[in-house]
């Protein structure tokens, strides 16, 4: 099998797995318990918090663990709006956000919040001028993702953050695709909130990260005990949190080399496919983008049939994001780039990660070209 859908999820790293294992067996204490079994669990959670904080230039007290990126995104959107419950407020986001942001915004619209969904250019980038132009007297939150999960385009978060600084507007970025893959520093980005997810950087599924700049108030999404300083109730997923700490540390230490390796695999893939299929199109940006993710459009065929033929050969790629595939709708991200419905439906996303090899990229080139020829023959 060749797994090339690392933007959907990643295989857990051996190190992260080894480190989390004891907390599922011998060290199963509740981190809130006062005896040593609990204290050890608590200590492990706090160690992971330091690891995560160090990885993004934050303080440990600014990190809260959640059940995932979706929970962290929902939390920020819902609860920032909640703090202004009696005012009519305005939120700015983009049309290419992950559904955990988009659908949270749509829900907020139902409750009277005004939301501006900014368009993107044909490479998938939000323009800083558009953010500036969209600001209203009652704008309270801007939420723009750091890197897109379907096309890999990196957004000008630093520039948007610099523009928003000093204004009374909170700034959130969904950095789920970025953390562990490209350098992320909350001070450079000038964000107030940042979300990440362990299973996107070779940690376990079910652990998310919310960075909240110290001093800011965010009401809890969940109620219960005093876990996570009373911000996020519920018995901690100790093993998952431990995996997040070690996985993020490992990803950061290998990041520069790994990015180079993944970029060259993407290049081999695109160039190889272009040789046989000159009409293939790269959707997104080829310069400012994630190292391992590429979205390709094939004229006149369906990305879904291509994906299924690759699956028969044991190759996992996706048509768009894991959250939207399965519905027969064209990707909202690809439509936002200005592609037609048919073009949007002709795309596949290949996303390489830690466990892919250069040889696999060559196998994928051949498999894609063969599958494409087969589909064209049968038209």
Ligand X SMILES: *Cc1c(COP(=O)(O)O)cnc(C)c1O
Q: Applying CB under 6 A, which residues contact ligand X?
A: 68-70, 73, 98, 100, 145, 149, 174, 176-177, 197, 199-200, 208
CA distance 106 to 20: 37
Q: Which is nearer to ligand X, 42 or 212 (CB)?
A: 212
Q: How far is the CB of 148 from ligand X (least distance, A)?
A: 7
CA distance 296 to 11: 23
H-assigned helices in 171-222: 186-189
Q: How far is the CB of 98 from ligand X (least distance, A)?
A: 3
Proportion of the chain in helix, strand, coil states, percent, rounded to 5: 45, 15, 40
Q: How far is the CB of 232 from ligand X (least distance, A)?
A: 14
Fill in the DSSP letter of residue 19: H
174 CB-contact burial (10 Å; exposed 0-12 / middle 13-18 / buried 19+): buried
Q: How far is the CB of 152 from ligand X (least distance, A)?
A: 11
Q: Is the dihedral of CA 253, 191, 72, 28 positive or negative?
A: positive
CA distance 147 to 182: 9
Q: How far is the CB of 275 from ligand X (least distance, A)?
A: 31
Pairing of β 347-351 and β 293-297: antiparallel
Q: Which is nearer to ligand X, 69 or 292 (CB)?
A: 69
Is 323 marked active-site? yes
Q: How far is the CB of 99 from ligand X (least distance, A)?
A: 8
Q: Which is nearer to ligand X, 19 or 149 (CB)?
A: 149
Q: Which is nearer to ligand X, 176 or 252 (CB)?
A: 176
Q: Which is nearer to ligand X, 69 or 291 (CB)?
A: 69
Q: Which residue is nearest to ligand X (CB)?
A: 69
Q: What's the start-to-end Cα distance of the chain, in Å?
A: 28
List 79, 316, 323, 369, catalytic entry: 323
Longest alpha-carbon distance in the chain: 68
Fill in the DSSP letter of residue 350: E
Q: Which is nearer to ligand X, 149 or 346 (CB)?
A: 149
> Can you read off the two tokens belonging to residue 134?
């969209």
- φ, ψ for residue 325 (rounded to 5)? -70, 150
- φ, ψ for residue 262 (rounded to 5)? -70, -40
Catalytic annotation, residues:
323
């Amino acid at each position: 099998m060749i797994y090339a859908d690392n933007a959907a999820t990643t295989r857990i790293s051996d190190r992260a797995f080894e480190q989390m294992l004891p907390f599922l067996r011998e060290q199963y204490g509740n981190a809130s318990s006062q005896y040593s079994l609990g204290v050890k669990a608590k200590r492990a959670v706090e160690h992971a918090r330091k690891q995560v904080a160090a990885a993004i230039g934050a303080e440990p007290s600014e990190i809260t663990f959640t059940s995932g990126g979706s929970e962290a995104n929902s939390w920020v959107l819902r609860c920032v709006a909640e703090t202004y419950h009696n005012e009519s407020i305005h939120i700015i986001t983009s049309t290419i956000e992950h559904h955990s942001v988009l659908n949270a915004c749509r829900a907020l619209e139902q409750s009277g919040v005004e939301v501006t969904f900014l368009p993107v250019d044909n490479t998938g980038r939000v323009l800083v001028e558009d953010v500036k132009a969209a600001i209203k007297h009652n704008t309270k939150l801007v939420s723009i993702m750091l890197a897109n999960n379907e096309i890999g385009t990196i957004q000008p978060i630093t520039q948007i953050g610099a523009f928003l600084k000093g204004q009374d507007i909170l700034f959130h970025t969904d950095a789920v695709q970025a953390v562990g893959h490209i350098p992320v520093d909350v001070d450079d980005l000038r964000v107030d909130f940042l979300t990440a997810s362990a299973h996107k950087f070779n940690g376990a599924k079910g652990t998310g990260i919310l960075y909240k700049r110290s001093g800011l108030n965010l009401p809890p999404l969940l109620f219960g005990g005093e876990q996570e300083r009373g911000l996020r109730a519920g018995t901690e997923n100790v093993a998952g949190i431990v995996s997040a700490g070690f996985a993020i540390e490992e990803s950061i230490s290998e990041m520069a080399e790994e990015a180079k390796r993944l970029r060259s695999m993407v290049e081999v893939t695109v160039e190889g496919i272009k040789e046989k299929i000159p009409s293939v199109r790269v959707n997104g940006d080829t310069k400012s983008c994630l190292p391992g993710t590429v979205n390709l459009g094939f004229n006149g065929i369906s990305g879904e049939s291509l994906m299924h033929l690759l699956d028969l050969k044991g190759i996992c790629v996706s048509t768009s994001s894991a959250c939207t595939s399965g519905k027969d709708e064209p990707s909202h991200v690809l439509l936002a780039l200005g592609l037609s419905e048919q073009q949007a439906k002709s795309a596949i996303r290949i996303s390489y990660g830690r466990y892919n090899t250069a040889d696999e990229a060559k196998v994928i080139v051949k498999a894609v070209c063969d599958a494409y020829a087969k589909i064209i023959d049968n038209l």
